[in-house]
Each structure stands twice: as C-alpha cells, then as structure tokens.
C-alpha cells in the first residue's frame, strides 16, 4: 500500500489536479485502494500548493463518476440472466435471490446509488446492480455525482486541514469500513445458514 500511495503522490504532483481524478477513478474500480487514504492525501497535496482545493474536489468527483460508469457498464454487460445463471451454480445461492435484489434496487435505485456512494465498502459495488437494472444513465450519473461530491469533499477537506497529519482520517473512517465488511459477512453467513437448514429439512 505504501508503494501505491507513493505512486499516487507522484501522479498528483506531476500532472496536478487531473492526477487526483485518475487516482480516484482507479480507487473506484479497484476497492482495495481505499478512498479514505487517497482523498485525504489529495487534500494534503493541495495544501502544499500543487493545485487548488476546488480543483481537487472537482477532479476527484469526475474520477469517481468515470470509475462508477465502468462498473455500471460491467453490470449491464453481464446482464440479469447471466448473473442468475451464475448464482444457480454457486452452493446455497439461487437465481431468485438475485432477481429479488434487483427488484428491490428497481424500487430504491436513486437512494441506493446516492447513499451507497457515502458508505465505505459499498461505494464501488453499488454501480454494478445499477448496470444490471439498466438504471437510466442520466439518473445514475446525477446521483453518483451528488453522492461522490459529498464524500470526496469531506475527505479532501479533512486532509487539507490536517496537513501532514492527513493519515489520521483513515483512523476514523477505516473502522467504519471494517464494520460494514463485518455486517456484509454476517448477512452472507445468515443467508447461507438458512439455505443449508432448508436443504437439510427438505432432503
């Protein structure tokens, strides 16, 4: 991770605020590169005068949208039927679970996309069901941009104000990410246990 951050700093200092957009786009597509490190670092670099604070936020939001669109088109390319067929081949999963999830997304898509962009661990993944559901592209772009703007501005401003202590932001946001991952894991275990019990009782 240290090598990745060194590369991010080099890009931001070499090409300026567009480098923030590039780093944010990559962070969106590759979630193991956490935004809670990249964005405060972008704010710190802005505080050193390499680019303005406004430019950092604008380019970060543009980069978030580009990355989200890549995942949206990935979900659209896979399509519902292919995802359902894959689910039927995975133990303890069924196609109707996927269909039910997509139906839920169809009812709450706008809220899911906006709020999802504010939740660590979900920010990137929320674009895939939007693509599967073929959410209208202008609507997807609007709510992705709005949610990303709030998240990016908050973390970049924190890094800007903290200066050399920018890394402290991850200490506050990181535990939230861990809680989200644990909750997702618990849901998966709960669903799998229910499926297994149902199979045992019907055999």
In this prediction, residue 195 carries a pLDDT of 52
Question: What does the domain layout of the chain look like in residue ranges?
Answer: 2-202
Q: What is the pLDDT of residue 31?
A: 62
- The pTM score is 0.74
Helix (H) or strand (E) holding 156: helix 137-162
Handedness of CA 26, 29, 33, 37 (dihedral sign): positive
Contacts of 20 (CB under 8 A, 6+ apart): 12, 42, 45, 51, 55, 56, 59, 60, 63
Q: Look up residue 130 and give its two tokens.
A: 């939007």
Parts of the chain with a pLDDT under 70: 1-2, 31-33, 84, 86-102, 104, 121, 166-203
Report the distance separating Cα 156 and Cα 36, nearest Å: 9
pLDDT for 81 equals 76
Q: Is 173 exposed, middle or buried (0-12, 13-18, 19+ CB in 10 A)?
A: buried
Question: What pLDDT score was predicted for residue 101?
Answer: 63
Give Cα 156 distance to the centre of its chain. 16
The whole-angstrom separation of Cα 140 and Cα 146 is 10
Contact status, residue 67 vs residue 27, Cβ threshold 8 Å: yes
**Residue-level pLDDT at 184:** 47
Residue 152: predicted pLDDT: 93
Tokens coding 117: 């962009």
Cα-to-chain-centroid distance, residue 122: 5
């Amino acid at each position: 991770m240290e090598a990745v951050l060194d590369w991010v700093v080099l890009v931001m200092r070499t090409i300026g605020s567009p480098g923030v957009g590039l780093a944010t786009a990559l962070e969106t597509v590759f979630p193991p590169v956490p935004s809670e490190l990249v964005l405060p670092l972008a704010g710190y670099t802005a505080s050193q005068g390499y680019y303005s604070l406004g430019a950092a936020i604008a380019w970060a939001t543009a980069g978030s949208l580009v990355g989200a669109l890549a995942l949206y088109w990935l979900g659209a390319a896979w399509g519902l039927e292919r995802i359902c067929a894959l689910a039927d081949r995975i133990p303890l999963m069924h196609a109707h679970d996927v269909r039910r999830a997509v139906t839920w997304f169809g009812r709450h898509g706008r809220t899911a996309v906006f709020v999802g962009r504010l939740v660590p661990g979900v920010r990137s993944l929320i674009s895939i069901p939007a693509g599967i559901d073929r959410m209208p592209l202008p609507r997807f772009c609007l709510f992705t941009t709005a949610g990303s703007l709030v998240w990016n501005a908050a973390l970049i401003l924190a890094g800007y104000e903290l200066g050399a202590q920018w890394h402290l932001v991850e200490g506050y946001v990181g535990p939230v990410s861990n809680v989200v991952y644990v909750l997702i894991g618990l849901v998966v275990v709960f669903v799998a246990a229910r499926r297994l019990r149902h199979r045992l009782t019907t055999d």
